[in-house]
Amino acid sequence: MDLWQKLDVLGQAAQYDACQGCGTQMHRVRDDIGRWIYPAVRPDGKRVRLLKVLQSNACQNDCAYCAHRSGRDTRRITFQPDELARAFAELAQRGYAEGLFLSSGICGRVDQATERMLATVELVRRRYQFRGYIHLKILPGADEASIAESIKLADRVSVNLEAPSPERLSALSRNKEFERQLLGTLEAANRLRNELGRPVSMTTQFVVGAAGESDREILATATRLYRGLALARAFYSAFQPVPETPLEDHPATPLWREHRLYQADFLLRQYGFAFDDLIFDEEGNLPARADPKLLWALAHPERFPIEVNSASREELLRIPGIGPRSAGRILKRRREGKLRDLTHLGLPKALAERAAPFILLGGKRPAFQPTLWGIA
Ligand code: SF4
């Protein structure tokens, strides 16, 4: 198998983002030379084309949802560091890839698998002088020296928790240990980036719906990580069954559940919502019928209507249809004169109509009053 055939297989395999190979299909594209390139957003908000690839799809672990789990009959391939570094450098030099996302299965000792990944990234940085974006997965249980090296080389590092608690993880894997291997590695990464003074961002990912966990459990854990470890992002990946795995007959998680989790997560990170503001159903899940912000607004009629001309930024962010950017725009427009009708908000029509039932403009309800999407 030549270098580019390997890249095809291990780029394709990285759609599962091992180590959390749950099968969610990201919006990937094949570039015009046929390699898998993924659009991604860097920590600074800039969009980049990432080569997302595994160092190896060989793994000794047994995660029940994963296409790369040990014992599954699939072709196992491993890149040597110089092969992968050379392939990436060529794609970068030709303008096909602007960044690298590198993960790996774990075959043999964790430190050996980690060393191969670090050697690849070192070559990319030092031999090929690549200064762009690198997201490096830290394998569960990696030692402190490897974690520190990852932090020095990458712009973003991640350790995937997969599940929100030890009990839920034990339903997915007999090999992985939640507190020591997963959370412990994240905690070590946070401590080391502070000690090294390297402001790399740190993320994690949850497989949603594979272990019977509720949205409440997932978001409670994410909230603890945002507060305790200054995590930049949690990613939520709807479980999709992979043939010939123990969960092949387990129902796929609907994508709307993943979407609701992202909406709730944005409220926690960017809208000033607390975990206790989120509304869950009897099973502890975010209801499908409306987004979490609208549900909160409907459950708190005492907080509305809000006078847009005098509201604080925090109050504006509680209004359905108004986000951090539009709140900033409204505050700016307010300095230029009183806002008297919906068009003065500078919102797209659909969002202005969403906000209308919850606001006052100059002491008056805006003229437009839509029905509340049948859920009031
Ligand atoms: S550790 Fe688990 S999720 Fe990661 S590649 Fe191995 S089996 Fe898959």
Render pLDDT for 21-40 as a digit per residue (tens, 0 to 9). Answer: 333 444 444 555 445 677 77
Q: Are residues 218 and 298 in the same domain?
A: no
**Has residue 74 been placed in a domain?**
yes
The CATH number linked to 307 is: 1.10.150
Query: What local confidence, expressed as pLDDT, does residue 5 receive?
Result: 83
- Regarding the beta carbon of 19 and ligand 1, being less than 6 Å apart is answered yes
Q: Which residue has the tokens 């966990």?
A: 213
Q: Which of 43-52, 213-222, 344-353 has the lowest mean pLDDT?
A: 43-52
- For the cut 80, the answer to whether the pLDDT of residue 165 exceeds it is yes
| Domain housing 352 | 292-360
Q: Are residues 229 and 341 in the same domain?
A: no
Q: Are residues 23 and 127 in the same domain?
A: yes
- Regarding the beta carbon of 21 and ligand 1, being less than 6 Å apart is answered yes
Q: Are residues 103 and 231 in the same domain?
A: yes
**Has residue 299 been placed in a domain?**
yes
- Regarding the beta carbon of 110 and ligand 1, being less than 6 Å apart is answered no
- Regarding the beta carbon of 23 and ligand 1, being less than 6 Å apart is answered no
Q: Are residues 188 and 329 in the same domain?
A: no
**Has residue 277 been placed in a domain?**
no
**CA 206 – ligand 1 centroid, Å:** 13
- Regarding the beta carbon of 66 and ligand 1, being less than 6 Å apart is answered yes
- Regarding the beta carbon of 193 and ligand 1, being less than 6 Å apart is answered no
**Has residue 368 been placed in a domain?**
no
Mutate to test the pocket of ligand 1, among 17, 20, 55, 69 (most ligand atoms within 8 A of CB): 69
What domain count does the chain have? 2
**Has residue 367 been placed in a domain?**
no
pLDDT in tens, 107-162: 888 999 999 999 999 999 999 999 999 999 999 999 999 999 999 999 999 999 99
The whole-number average pLDDT for the span 29-54 is: 71
Query: What local confidence, expressed as pLDDT, does residue 35 receive?
Result: 55
**Has residue 44 been placed in a domain?**
yes
